[in-house]
Amino acid sequence: MIIHMLSFIDRANIGNAKVLNRDEGDSLEETLGISNQQYLVALMIFIVAFTIVQTPCNYMLKKYRPSRAMALMMFCWGVMTIVLATVQNFSGLVAVRFFLGAFESGLFPGLVYILTFWYRPEERALRIAFIVACSSLGSAFGGAIAFGVGRTLNGVRGLEAWRWLFIIEGIPSCLAALPVLLLFPDYPEDARWLSEDERALSAARLAGVASHGADALTWADARATLADWRLYAHYLAYVSISVPFSSNSLFAPTIVAGLGYTGLDAQLFTVPPYAVAFAVTLAVAWAADRFEARSLATCGSMLVAGASFVVQGALPADAFKARYAFLFFSLSFSFASIPPSLSWLAANVHSTGAATLAIPLNVAFGQLGQIIGVYIYKDSEAPSFPTGHFTNAGFLLEGAVLIAALRVFYVRRNGKLSYGARAWRL
C-alpha cells in the first residue's frame, strides 16, 4: 500500500504542478512556457513508456525476485521525480516523464501478481482494493502537500513551488527503496518469518488455485494466454475503466479549479473526493469478496460512475456545487471498479505462469484508455468540461455492458461443466 501510494504521488503530481501558484505566474506551465498541447504530450509520453516496458518489467520481477525489482524501481522513479524539479523546457519535461513511466511500469501489475502467491481468489479483491485505494489516498495527500508547498515554499532559494513539490515528493521513494529491498515478502514458501507449519499451511490453502510462486513462465503458458479470447474481453473492459481513472487522476485539480475554486483552494478541494473514494473502494471490494460477486461489483460501480459523469456533463455551466457533489460519486466508483475487475481476472487465470503474462497485459491494454483520458478534458470547455464528462460516461457504460456479457458467458460455461471440473469464478 505504501509503495503504491508513493508511486501514485510521484506519477500524478504533475497535475498539481500544472496549476500550483498560477495566480502568481509561477505554475509549471507558465515557468516552462509550454502550451496546453505540450502539457498533454508530457502526460502521454509517461503512458507510452509505461505500456512499452510493463510486460518485460513484470517478467523481470519474477525472474529476479519481487523485493529486488521493487526496490530498484522505487529508487529510480524517486530519482526521476526529483530530476523533474530541474527541467527548464518542454524537451526536458518529456524526457524525464518518459523515464518516470518506464520505472513505474512494473509496479502495479507486479503487486497484483504477487497477491496470487499469498491469497485465495475470494481474498484478493479486498487486498487489491487496499492497494488501489492508495491511489486515491495518494491524490488526497498530493493535494494537501501541494497546498502547503504552494503557500510556504514558492520562491524559496529561487525555486518555484512546483519544483519544491517534485523534490519533496521524490525523496521518500528513494529512501524507501532500502527497507523494501530488506523487508518486502517474496513468496510464502521461502519466507523466513514463517515457520515450517505456516509455510505448509500456505501451500495447502492455495492448492488448486495457484502454483509455486517461483514457477517459471513457459512457452505453453504464453501461447495459451495469448490465444485465450476471453482474456481480451477482460482487457477491453479494463480499457473502459482506465479512461476515467487517468482523466480523474491527472485533471482533478483542473476540474476543481473550473468549479470556481481558484489558486491554492483548487489543490485543497481535491482532497475530500479522494478521501471518500478511499472508503468507497474498500467497501465495494469487501462486498465483492464477501459475496463472491466480483463481476457484479465491477459492473455496478461502472454504472454508478457512468451515470454520475452524465449528470456532471448535463448540468448548467454555473452549477458548481452540484457538479462538485457528483464528482464524489464519479471519482469514488471509478476507482472502486478497478479492484474487483482485477481480482476477477486473476481468479480466472489458473496458473501463476499464465498470470505473469495476463495481468501485465491487462494493465498494458488499460494504457490505451489512459491515453484517451489525457485528451478529453479541454481547458477551453471550463468550467463544465462536457467532452470529458460525457466521454468518461460513455466508456464506463459500455464497459459495464461488456462486464455483464462476460459474466453471462461464464455462467453458461459453468452450467455445462461436469461434476468436479474447475468452474469459472464470478
Q: Which domain covers residue 319, as residue numbers?
A: 2-185+220-415
Whether 207 is covered by a domain: the verdict is no
Closest CA to 14 of 4, 194, 31: 31
What angle, 0 to 180 degrees and rounded to 10, lies between the N-to-C axes of helices 320-336 and 121-152?
140
Whether 195 is covered by a domain: the verdict is no
Give the tens place of pLDDT for each residue, 111-163.
888 888 888 877 877 888 888 888 777 877 888 888 889 889 988 999 999 99
Looking at 64-89, list the stretches that DSSP marks H as alpha helix, in order from N- to C-terminal side: 66-84
pLDDT attached to residue 265: 67
Whether 16 is covered by a domain: the verdict is yes
Whether 172 is covered by a domain: the verdict is yes
Per-residue confidence at 346, pLDDT binned at 50, 70, 90?
A: confident
Q: Residue 336 belongs to a domain with what CATH number? A: 1.20.1250.20
Whether 383 is covered by a domain: the verdict is yes
H or E element at residue 61: helix 36-63
Integer Cα distance of 106 and 104 in angstroms: 6
- Answer yes or no: are the C-beta atoms of 248 and 136 closer than 8 Å: no
For the ranges 149-163, 296-310, 315-329, the one whose mean pLDDT is highest: 296-310
Whether 422 is covered by a domain: the verdict is no
Looking at 227-337, list the stretches that DSSP marks H as alpha helix, in order from N- to C-terminal side: 229-257, 265-268, 271-290, 294-314, 320-336
Cβ neighbours for 59, distance < 8 A, ≥ 6 positions apart: 217, 356
For the ranges 32-41, 159-168, 357-366, 370-379, the one whose mean pLDDT is highest: 159-168
Identify the residue whose cell numbers are 507558465: 30
Whether 201 is covered by a domain: the verdict is no
Closest CA to 66 of 223, 206, 182: 182
Cell numbers for 247, please give them: 482523466
Integer Cα distance of 270 and 171 in angstroms: 23
Cell numbers for 150, please give them: 504552494
Q: How many domains does the chain have?
A: 1
- Answer yes or no: are the C-beta atoms of 354 and 274 closer than 8 Å: no
What angle, 0 to 180 degrees and rounded to 10, lies between the N-to-C axes of helices 352-375 and 229-257?
40
Whether 424 is covered by a domain: the verdict is no
pTM over 0.85: no
